Chain A
Amino acid sequence: MRDETSLIQACIKQNRAAQQKLYELHAPKMLGVCYRYASSREEAEDMLQEGFIRIFQKLDTFRFQGSFEGWLRRIIVNTAINIIRKYQNLKYECDIDSAQYTPAASGDAIASMYTKEVIDMVRDLPNGYRTVLNLYAIEGYSHKEIADMLGINESSSRSQYTRAKALLAKRLEKIESFGITEHVKVSHP
């Protein structure tokens, strides 16, 4: 803990070696976060890069209260959201009928899958669904917060989440039927 504090303080003083160390410490996990929001690895790395630049710029506002990783994560997620809002439209281009098919998505099915498979399945969701699912189910934001972040209605956030979950459930069902991880391709804007 003390090490981390002194590392942060060195970073605030613009010590480049300390900045690199901090980056190396947290970058793999944060890239994992970005990867869930991005439509490609390249985009995820863009998010990571921009996020860390912002982190080093704002590091002096960190008050050493609460988890540093949580603080990092918030900035990274906000950066990812900004990039998504800027470069992609949050249209939901999948077939509505198929989305309304609602087998209940359960945790057990997910638990039985490899992490990479789960992440790839989330990433294969359309942009809007993916973003809402990430923010609600993984980051733990409320629908109201998500609505504020994305500039949409709270009810839209709820419905997108329900549809995302339904779509995931449908894909899980398909995986079970075929016994393989076959992702349904969805075109990204």
Chain B
Amino acid sequence: MSKFRIHRSFEEELAKKAEGFTLQPRTSIWKGVDRGVQKAQSLKQFVRIGVIGTFAVIILTLAYFQGNKEVGVTTLEATRIEQPDQKLAQPFISAPSPDIGKAIEAPITQEKTPSFSHLRSIPSFEKPVGAFAATSGSMAEEISNEMTSTSLRAVQPKNIVLALALKESNQAKLKKRRRPAPINRRDAWYIQASVTPSSSFRSISARTTYAEPFKEQKNQYDQSVKTYSAKIALRYFFSDRFSIGLGLRFSQQGEIIGMAPRKDNDLYQALAKEYGYDIYKINSMGNESTYTNQYHYLEVPVTMYSKRPIGKRLSLHTGLGLSLGYLVKESSRTYDFRLDHYVPNQKFLRSWTVGAHAQVSLGYDINTRWMLSAGPELNYALLSTYQNYYTLSQHQYSFGLNLGVQWKLFDGTKTRGALLK
């Protein structure tokens, strides 16, 4: 007895014993590590590409609309010039600007040419004016080929040179100006954010006949689980009713699996202990132990929407789409038919998946830029959760309430109002 009451530190001896303890892992463990590292690498790349892509789209979108700010103004002016009674302006329709209209009309209406100082007040005109002034003679000849003799007589040479300068300096913008209704495009971009608390479950089918009874057992004991998904997306209206959305969604799927004890006899227990199986980890609580399987996906959903106004502020939105998903995290158990007990799912699970989703939501416009929406959403995995070699085919689905907010990226009402004045 005295042996236990002394002498050397318990902690020291325990640590010493523990330090010297090693175990040789099975070779399959390295394969799992290697697979996990590769998976993490590809996830990093996926996220990196996703983030860069999203930023690129946002920057390009912003750049597009920033570049079009002046276009909106000049297009209206150009349209005004195109009136039939202003025939002399016809050759210069393609050089629109608030001031070019005046410049062209001046010889007729006011018998007065615009001064260079007036033109320099338009930033984009400064450079071409200097450049083309030196060669005004040859330019005038060129222009004379394009104009009717009447208009040539009516317009002074200096004005022609200036107009040509404007025409060439704005050449790139002119193409854009010819697009139909560019003002509406500004109003077409939205950012959406939504969360969907949902109930998730799976449909299951057996690939082999011997798995049929197991399928029945699973269907008997398994239950749905509460999950959620969160999404952020860019939505583009290409007409008043139809739009397309591209986003990034974090989605949780899963089910609660119920199990009855299997092979619950001494011999199997002894063997299980010998070979490191752990059948009691899940089944120790009784006949119907449960384990919550969870699969977390990072998805890129593409959705087509249809919008139907149903009141002054209300609208009905119907969406249908596909998504590409990557399994970023899981905690799950699967029945291994070869080992005859439950094992961690990792080796059976498919990393990539494709899913379909549908949603109907009621939108409420808080003001011109913000909209709230709520409605049911259904997600269904088109590919099995498991690899093809696994005995069961399992498709996850979830049904929930989508709660969202939508924000108009550019407030077109201000610009448009200013133009109409």
Contacts and interface: CB of A to CB of B under 8 A. Distances in A.
Given A19-B37, A48-B25, A137-B15, A108 B276 contact: no
Contact of B9 (A87, A107, A118): A107
Interface residues of A, number: 60
B13 A188 contact: no
Interface in A102-159: 103-111, 113, 115-116, 118-119, 122, 133-134, 136-138, 140
Given A46-B344, A103-B4, A106-B8, A40 B281 contact: yes
B33 A52 contact: yes
A92 B18 CA distance: 23
Q: Which of A20, A44, A111 gathers the greatest number of chain B CB atoms within 10 Å?
A: A111
A23 B37 CA distance: 12
Contacts of A41: 23, 276
B130 interface: no
A188 B284 contact: yes
Contacts of A189: 284-285
A110 B18 contact: no
B13 A107 contact: yes
Is chain A's binding surface mostly helix, strand, loop or mixed?
helix
A86 interface: yes
A19 B30 CA distance: 10
B11 interface: yes
B14 interface: yes
Contacts of A32: 18, 21-23
Interface in A21-47: 23-24, 27-29, 31-33, 35-36, 39-46
B8 A108 contact: yes
Interface in B341-367: 343-344
Interface of A: 14, 16, 19-20, 23-24, 27-29, 31-33, 35-36, 39-46, 48-50, 52-53, 56-57, 86-87, 103-111, 113, 115-116, 118-119, 122, 133-134, 136-138, 140, 165, 169, 172-173, 176, 187-189
19 contacts: A31-B23, A35-B21, A40-B276, A46-B344, A57-B37, A105-B4, A105-B10, A106-B3, A106-B7, A108-B8, A110-B14, A111-B8, A118-B18, A119-B17, A119-B18, A137-B15, A138-B14, A138-B15, A188-B281
Given A43-B281, A111-B16, A138-B18, 19 more contacts: A19-B33, A24-B30, A28-B25, A36-B18, A42-B276, A42-B277, A42-B343, A44-B23, A45-B26, A45-B276, A107-B9, A107-B14, A109-B3, A109-B4, A111-B8, A115-B20, A116-B21, A137-B14, A189-B285
